Amino acid sequence: MKALGRHILVEFFDCDSARLDHLAGVEVAMEDAARRAQATIVQSVFHMFQPHGVSGVVVIAESHLAIHTWPEYGYAAVDLFTCGETVDPWIAFDVLRDAFGSQRWETKEFRRGELTDHPGEVHYKPAMAVA
């Protein structure tokens, strides 16, 4: 059965709270995770909340990586949604687990866009225009 993508929902527990509450550090970790998973970064947007917490998304040509942190609980919720055969979301998972110092985690993986009766080749993403 063909699927357009893989979507891993991650809950990181018992993380280093300071790392989860550092906007630049979270952004660097997320972009590093995308690159190391062999994704093509299109754009990143991150926001620091007051009194604490970071939310952000790395838009990749193959879908997205998103995060919401609760440093006060040592917790981060992460979505790793990738399309195609070349990007490995589990590599991104490993990078983020280590970056945030998570001591415990839970994951659920879903196949997105299962195409049961689509004949022929599945195209995962459009060709990127070069500026």
Angle at 125 between CA 119 and CA 130, to 5 degrees: 140
Cα–Cα distance for residue pair 94/96, rounded to 1 Å: 6
Q: Which of 83, 102, 118, 123 is catalytic?
A: 83
Q: Please name which of 43, 60, 99, 58 lies closest in space to residue 76, comparing C-alpha atoms.
A: 99
55 is catalytic: no
123 is catalytic: no
Q: Which of 22, 44, 64, 68 is catalytic?
A: 68
- How many Å is the maximal CA-CA distance in the chain? 52
15 is catalytic: no
Q: Which of 63, 64, 118, 123 is catalytic?
A: 63
Task: Characterise 9 by phi-psi region: left (phi > 0), alpha (psi -120 to 50), beta (else).
Answer: beta
Cβ proximity of 19 and 100 under 8 Å: yes
Q: Which residues are the active-site residues?
A: 63, 68, 83
